[in-house]
Structure 1
Amino acid sequence: MENDLIHSILYINFESIDETYPTKDIPQVLNEATKNLISNKCFSLLLSDNRIIPKSSLIIPFPSINLKGLIRYFEWMDETKKGGLRQAALIVLFKEVDDLIFYKYIEIFESLLGKFSQKITNIEIDKAQTHSVDEFLKDLLLQTKVVLEDLKNQELSEQKSEEFPEDTSDLYDPTDYSFKIIIVGDPEVGKTSITLRFTNKAFLRTYIPTLGVNITDKNIRVDHSKIKVIIWDIAGQSKFQTTRKNFYRGAEGIVLVFDLTKQKSFDNLNDWHKDVEKTLNRGNKYIGFLLGNKKDLKNERTVKKEDAELLANKLNLRYIETSALTGENVMFIFHKIGEILLSNLLKKEG
């Protein structure tokens, strides 16, 4: 089973406005300082929304410990407490590098956490129950691992179907038509979410944490041809500045991504473009797109479309706006890049 994906599961009981404390963690691998850090951040989030329980689960980062947490808040009536309510949270902790899996399948995990939060609620209300919170946490850990194993097997099955389609009579060998596309931009603009939305692969990817790159691929059909799009999702953090330039080499398509709600991510695009241009052989033409992500956040938008189009023209790139959340234009952009690259290649061969 996928034993390494789950770091631990934490149950936090929010006793009062002034104090939070973890009551249980399975397995017991967290020290007290770490548990306090996690519980304080979770409680702060709850306070920021006036202690209103979120309707859905959340994923939040804990960068100081290189973990993220999938959090399910819940509450129950308790007349012995001020306000008549008790509030708590279940947290599945996992490594930052595995967050794609939990983002992709969040609805499945949310259902699982919902079921166990209800079980724990019943225990808290009825202290006479024979089951304990510890038992339910162990069961939750086991079931989460089983779900992860099933999801991985499902992806593997889908990958085999994609690699060996039933009808290949009119398809070229995909290895003859493969193109490298690099995705660059500031951290947290949605590069990885865009890649996941396109490839639909959370388990089947190669991540090199020491170098800061995710490599994944997808076969697509263009007319009667089948091509492999190989996507290099390159980390935007400054600590990878030296190593990431090696990943630019050989790219036939580039996608510069910025966040439509963050002006700074747009302002930095010139630097990203220069960074890529320095490495790529200027004699080789590549297909380039400027991509404004998070189009769905209309009320938070800070970058004007006209400004983005002007920059795209200046950099000789095509401009398009997408939403990794809704999927708008994500498939289109990669299919378009593949279409242009294949057309250019066939013209050279012809």
Structure 2
Amino acid sequence: MFSEYTSPDSSPSSLRSQLASKTIEDGGIIKVVTLGDRSAGKTALIIRFIENNFRVATPPTIGATFLSKSSLVPPASSIHVKFQVWDTSGDDRFSSMAPLYFGTADVVLVVYDVTDRNSFKCVDRWVKMIRSSSSGSESKQVVIVGTKVDLSSNREVTQKEGNEYAFRMGYPHYETSARTGENVHDMFDDIASVE
């Protein structure tokens, strides 16, 4: 679920209401794009959601990879949605291509590794890229996602720091673990749930 320190604009109901304008109906599609630095855990996060599996080693993404999953929303309902998830490369040489992927996205996950302070510092660069895009960034839901929380002894970014940054930007914040599955499905359930 959402981290404890959230603003009124980054509550689960706010996330749902912002997506509600998309009128997600049975058979609807939600396009999700991941952004973040290299080795932030984007691919592992997506594989955990799509396959409910953790791979110890994943090769770096070149350009972008597309995966999809149909899901009930909320899990006890009879409404199906299809997530189209784009896993983009965090490599600098591909960053200029990112707007091509998030330009038509419903949701952009800006991902950082809680064990790598530099990846957290670069979140602001990704957020600025989204905000400066002429692709209707105001209609996109942006979610700040910390990964690798299972590696708590190696943590360099506190949950409070992630919460405070997301609060300042007006975005929801999740801390997740692809290894254990912590908060991964909850986050996607919240993305898909509408009131």
**Normalising by structure 2, what TM-score?**
0.77
Q: Post-superposition shift, 1:288?
A: 2.2
Q: Distance in 2 between matches of 1:306 and 1:270?
A: 16
Aligned residue identity for 1:227: V
Q: 1: CA distance between counterparts of 2:65 and 2:167? A: 29
Kept in 1, the 8 Å contact 2:61–2:89? The answer is no
Q: 2:68 aligns with which of 188, 204, 217?
A: 217
- Aligned-pair identity (%): 28
C-alpha distance in 2, partners of 1:265/1:249?
Answer: 22
Q: Give the counterpart letter for 1:296 in structure 2.
A: D
For the pair 1:336 / 2:187, whether they are aligned, the reply is: no
User: Which aligned pairs between 1:201-280 and structure 2 lie closer than 5 A?
Assistant: 212-222=63-73, 223-279=77-133, 280=135
Q: How does 1:1-350 map to 2 (within 5 A)?
A: 173-174=26-27, 177-200=28-51, 212-222=63-73, 223-279=77-133, 280-284=135-139, 286-340=140-194, 343=195
Q: Give RMSD over aligned pairs.
A: 2.0
| TM-score, normalising length: structure 1 | 0.44
Q: CA deviation at 1:305?
A: 1.3
Gaps of 5+ in 2: 1-24, 54-59
Q: Deviations over 1:277-301 (max 9, x none)?
A: 22231442x2221111100011110
User: What's the CA shift string for 1:241-300, capped at 9, x where partnerless?
Assistant: 22222111111111111111100000111001111222231442x222111110001111
SS of equivalent to 2:85: strand
Shift of residue 304, structure 1, vs aligned partner: 1.3
Give the unaligned 5+ runs of structure 1: 1-171, 203-208, 344-350
Kept in 1, the 8 Å contact 2:36–2:90? The answer is yes
What letter matches 1:281 in structure 2? G
Larger Rg: 1 or 2? Answer: 1
**Per the alignment, in what secondary structure is the counterpart of residue 233 of structure 1?**
strand
What amino acid is aligned across from residue 156 of structure 2 in structure 1? T
Paired residues of 2:131 and 2:138 also in contact (CA < 8 A): no
Structure 2 CA distance for aligned equivalents of residues 238 and 215 of structure 1: 19
Q: Which runs of 4+ in 1 moved over 6 A?
A: none
> How far apart are the structure 1 equivalents of 2:36 and 2:29?
23
Task: Give the aligned length.
Answer: 161
Q: Which residue of 2 aligns with 1:78?
A: none
For 1:213, the aligned partner's letter is A
Q: Which residue of 2 aligns with 1:42?
A: none
Q: Distance in 2 between matches of 1:329 and 1:210?
A: 23
User: Comparing both structures, which one devotes a greater share of its residues to helix?
Assistant: 1
Please state whether the residue corresponding to 1:272 is helix, strand or coil. Answer: helix
* Structure ranking higher on relative contact order (CA contacts 8 Å, 6+ apart): 2
Rounded Cα–Cα distance in structure 2 between residues aligned with 1:298 and 1:243:
33
